[in-house]
Chain A
Amino acid sequence: MQNYYQKEIETMPVEEIKKLQSEKLVKQVKHVYENVAYYRALMDEKGVTPDDINGIEDLHKLPFLTKADLRDAYPYGLLAKPLEDCVRIQSTSGTTGRRVVAFYTQNDIDLWEDCCARAIVAAGGTKEDVCQVAYGYGLFTGGPGLNGGSHKVGCLTLPMSSGNTERQIQFMNDLNATILCCTPSYAAYIGETLQEKGMGPDDIPLKAGIFGAEPWTEEMRRGIENTLGIKAYDIYGLTETSGPGVSFECSEQSGMHINEDHFLAEIIDPDTGEVLPEGSKGELVFTSLDKEAFPLLRYRTRDICVLSRKKCSCGRTLIKMAKPMGRSDDMLIIRGVNVFPSQIETVLLNEGYQPNYQIIVDRKGNNDTFEVNVEMNAEQFTDTVSGVTAKEKALANALKTMLGINPSVHLVAPKSIVRSEGKAVRVIDKRKLHD
């Protein structure tokens, strides 16, 4: 049995999809050129005009956008619609410095929710299902996106948001939830909590889960599937393009179909910017074809990935992307939150420390541990243990304010952080997130 939410798109012959993309791209470039001064300047600088873009074969002529552009243009610089036409703002998890705010018209919201609906249907969801959304609600796109998708499918939607695991389990059972949407680490945590209660997969009504917003492995997938007794599907997205639902897994569970009618994907060489042929490993770049309010053209995701048009047994013709295999920048995703080492440097300098630090990330069970070791100087050092631990606590609080997650801070001796070839190793990520 194969179910699609929008069959005509999801199974459209590839040549037709490309034609559709070409038509949309030509229109979108005009819309952006006319309405977004920031991007018009980038195009002018490159000597490209909308007339040069006659289809997707011309996409490579357009300039890239990066997170730095989003920061420069914060908050309204990339807006392509008057504010009175916008109905929603969502934002990324970084609380300062790297914040991204995205704007949506009602149409943008509708199309985004359609994308999430496709993911839910691909996971076996129908209007008979009860869909428990345990992603965070609020500025984070996870909760609102899947919530909207669930409505579109016609599922009975349980907007739980994240946390309060006892209540999650009680509602899941009392209200017969069949689909769970949350981060994979939270799904694993719910599984562990069930096991602690002596409950097994047969004691809960779930049949499927849609998990995303952070990297996870095949091993973690198997663990979640076994403890919850479900099929676990991956979903991908980023606030810059809309949110979850840019791509989603089908019954084959081998890569995520990109909603190509809305998002045009490319793989580029992260060093040269050159477009690479299908099947090459490189940085994933997205062009939003339908976004009205916040239409990013050639946005560099920094996710390293591979695309494939291999025929899929689910019948979808939409191109598939592999699970991202890493990043082309230094961003870390810790407990679902984006963390840049530069944010930590900013806090250290503000708090009177030298930027001599090391981030150590690991995974204990299914939860990320996040340690920051910082070299102390004579000014911070005191003769009492309580004095040093108070300094550690104050620094941890300052980091939490900046990052939104709580690190465990250790002050260490000067020059004790290992330097290789004179350059300190800033990040040690012991998690095995990529198979």
Chain B
Amino acid sequence: MSLKQLNIFVENKKGALVEITETLASHDVNIRALSIADTEEFGILRLIVNDNETASKILSDKDYLIKITEVVGVKIGDAPGKLSTALEVLDKEDINVEYLYAFMSRTEKHAYVVLRVADNDHAEKALEAAGYHMITDADINKL
């Protein structure tokens, strides 16, 4: 049960994001969700894509620093308060969220939340016990 996230080290230079997104587009890699953490000197671009292998290869070939990490993906209802209810589950288990981002489904009335926590298994078990449905790479490919 895992969701892979593609992390790309981006130096704060003009045109860096254009080059990355163009490279992905030219190889038919579809970005499903993204978030950026940035500092004065550098940024970390985190992507959920339909084809990690291709994305990772073509960006590595262009000397981008790439790392694939596993994150927790959870499906939540698309209504006010649903995110905070889900986060409360983690809070009760003392699971600290380092970062999160979310995206909407086009077909279903759902939102998908990507979570970075210290212990994925712990978070997934807690959420599943509370009735949540986890999303995996296979789900992403179906979107």
Interface residues of A (CB under 8 A from B): 376-378, 381-386, 388-389, 410-416
Known: A383-B116, A384-B98, A413-B9. Contact between A378 and B37, CB under 8 A?
no
Minimum CB–CB distance from B47 to chain A (whole Å) comes to 11
- The answer on a CB contact under 8 Å between B99 and A384 is yes
- The answer on a CB contact under 8 Å between A383 and B42 is no
Question: In the complex, A268→B46 CA distance in Å?
Answer: 58
Sample of 4 more A-B contacts, CB < 8 Å, known A384-B98, A416-B11: A376-B9, A382-B7, A413-B64, A415-B63
A389: B residues at CB distance < 8 A: 39
Minimum CB–CB distance from A386 to chain B (whole Å) comes to 8
18 example contacts (A-B, Cβ-Cβ < 8 A) are as follows A376-B65, A381-B7, A382-B7, A383-B5, A383-B116, A384-B44, A384-B116, A385-B39, A385-B44, A386-B98, A389-B39, A411-B42, A412-B11, A413-B11, A413-B64, A414-B63, A414-B65, A415-B63
- The answer on a CB contact under 8 Å between A383 and B11 is no
Known: A383-B7, A383-B69, A413-B11. Contact between A388 and B44, CB under 8 A?
yes
Question: In the complex, A199→B2 CA distance in Å?
Answer: 66
A410: B residues at CB distance < 8 A: 41-42
B98: A residues at CB distance < 8 A: 384, 386
A378: B residues at CB distance < 8 A: 65-67
Question: In the complex, A383→B7 CA distance in Å?
Answer: 6
Known: A376-B9, A413-B11. Contact between A384 and B63, CB under 8 A?
no
Q: How many residues of B contact A (CB 8 A)?
A: 21
Q: Which of A377, A384, A385, A386 is the one whose CB lies under 8 Å from B65? A: A377
- The answer on a CB contact under 8 Å between A388 and B42 is yes
Question: In the complex, A98→B84 CA distance in Å?
Answer: 58
Indicate with 1 or 0, residue by residue over B2-28, a CB within 8 angstroms of chain A CB atoms.
000101011100000000000000000
Question: In the complex, A381→B99 CA distance in Å?
Answer: 17
A376: B residues at CB distance < 8 A: 9, 65
The number of inter-chain residue pairs (CB within 8 angstroms) is 52
- The answer on a CB contact under 8 Å between A385 and B37 is yes
Question: In the complex, A420→B7 CA distance in Å?
Answer: 29
Interface members, chain B 16-66 (any A CB < 8 Å): 37-39, 41-42, 44, 46, 63-66
Question: In the complex, A381→B10 CA distance in Å?
Answer: 11
A381: B residues at CB distance < 8 A: 7, 9, 65-67
A375's nearest neighbour on chain B, judged by CB, is B65
Question: In the complex, A59→B138 CA distance in Å?
Answer: 81
Question: In the complex, A381→B64 CA distance in Å?
Answer: 11
Question: In the complex, A58→B57 CA distance in Å?
Answer: 66
B7: A residues at CB distance < 8 A: 381-383
Minimum CB–CB distance from B115 to chain A (whole Å) comes to 12
B65: A residues at CB distance < 8 A: 376-378, 381, 413-414
Minimum CB–CB distance from B79 to chain A (whole Å) comes to 29
Known: A381-B7, A388-B42. Contact between A413 and B37, CB under 8 A?
no
Minimum CB–CB distance from B109 to chain A (whole Å) comes to 30
Minimum CB–CB distance from A416 to chain B (whole Å) comes to 6
- The answer on a CB contact under 8 Å between B64 and A383 is no
A388: B residues at CB distance < 8 A: 9, 42, 44
B64: A residues at CB distance < 8 A: 413
Question: In the complex, A211→B73 CA distance in Å?
Answer: 64
Question: In the complex, A202→B65 CA distance in Å?
Answer: 58
B63: A residues at CB distance < 8 A: 413-416
Question: In the complex, A416→B39 CA distance in Å?
Answer: 18
What 7 A-B pairs are tightest by C-beta distance, nearest first? Answer: A383-B7, A415-B63, A385-B37, A383-B69, A381-B67, A381-B65, A413-B65
A414: B residues at CB distance < 8 A: 63, 65
Q: Which of A382, A386, A415 is the one whose CB lies under 8 Å from B67? A: A382
A386: B residues at CB distance < 8 A: 98
B69's nearest neighbour on chain A, judged by CB, is A383
Question: In the complex, A385→B67 CA distance in Å?
Answer: 14
A413: B residues at CB distance < 8 A: 9-11, 42, 63-65
Query: Which among A381, A382, A412 has the greatest number of chain B C-beta atoms within 10 A?
Result: A381
B10: A residues at CB distance < 8 A: 413
B46: A residues at CB distance < 8 A: 383
- The answer on a CB contact under 8 Å between B44 and A383 is yes
Minimum CB–CB distance from A71 to chain B (whole Å) comes to 36
A384: B residues at CB distance < 8 A: 37, 44, 98-99, 116
A416's nearest neighbour on chain B, judged by CB, is B11
B44: A residues at CB distance < 8 A: 383-385, 388
Interface members, chain B 74-117 (any A CB < 8 Å): 98-99, 116
Question: In the complex, A416→B37 CA distance in Å?
Answer: 20
